[in-house]
């Protein structure tokens, strides 16, 4: 089902990365990230982001994370969800479809009455892979994300999950 979507591409790419890391005897997300030399990085800081500004890589926080390919100036809008169009899945809908429920629990933003999720789980935008931090470097205003502070090239973009529904 995901073979044509971002999830399938990401999982295949990560599988290749882990296989290469195993051959090179690399351990841990930091060493894996350092081994991804084919991703172009620009140490300069910019006050704009686009489709080339972020990549998905193994995270030291856990699982997959979103990383910047160049420095980002504090206050810059982060193009993590271009043309964001979510869908709302109610708790009743999830109870009727166990598979949908699992995806909503894993990827969704819970509201108490249901979850906001990607329009299509097969074509998820990079922003759906943001990890939580108690000291995030990004925040949202009406679900548009901005850098709270200067962000370095190859730094993971993190948000505070506790304020997602504010």
Q: What is the pLDDT of residues 133-164, one digit of tens each?
A: 999 999 988 878 999 999 998 899 999 988 87
Q: Where do we find the tokens 């350092």?
A: 34
The encoded tokens of residue 84 equal 């964001």
The encoded tokens of residue 62 equal 């856990």
Contact between 89 and 117 under an 8 Å Cβ cutoff? The reply is yes
Q: What is the Cα 40 distance to its own chain's centre?
A: 18
Q: Where do we find the tokens 């089902």?
A: 1
Distance between CA 74 and CA 146 in Å, rounded?
A: 8
> Percent of the chain at pLDDT above 70?
73
Distance between CA 156 and CA 136 in Å, rounded?
A: 10
List of domains in the chain: 6-84+125-160 (2.170.270.10)
Q: Where do we find the tokens 């994370």?
A: 65
The pLDDT assigned to 123 comes to: 73
Given a cut of 70, whether residue 29 has pLDDT beyond it is no
Q: What is the pLDDT of residues 107-140, one digit of tens each?
A: 888 888 998 888 777 777 888 889 999 999 999 8
- Mean pLDDT of all residues in 14-33: 54
């Amino acid at each position: 089902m995901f073979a044509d979507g971002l999830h399938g591409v990401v999982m295949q790419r990560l599988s290749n990365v882990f296989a290469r890391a195993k051959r090179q005897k690399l351990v841990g997300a930091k060493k894996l990230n350092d081994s991804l030399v084919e991703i172009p990085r620009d140490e300069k800081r910019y006050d704009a982001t686009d489709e080339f500004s972020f990549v998905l890589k193994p995270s030291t926080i856990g699982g997959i994370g979103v990383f910047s390919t160049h420095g980002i100036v504090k206050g810059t809008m982060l193009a993590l969800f271009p043309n964001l169009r979510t869908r709302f899945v109610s708790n009743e809908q999830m109870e009727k479809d166990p598979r949908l429920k699992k995806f909503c629990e894993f990827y969704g933003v819970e509201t108490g009455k249901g979850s906001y999720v990607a329009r299509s789980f097969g074509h998820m935008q990079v922003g759906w892979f943001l990890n939580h931090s108690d000291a995030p470097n990004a925040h949202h205003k009406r679900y548009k994300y901005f850098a709270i502070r200067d962000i370095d090239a190859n730094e993971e973009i993190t948000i505070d999950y506790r304020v997602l529904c504010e």
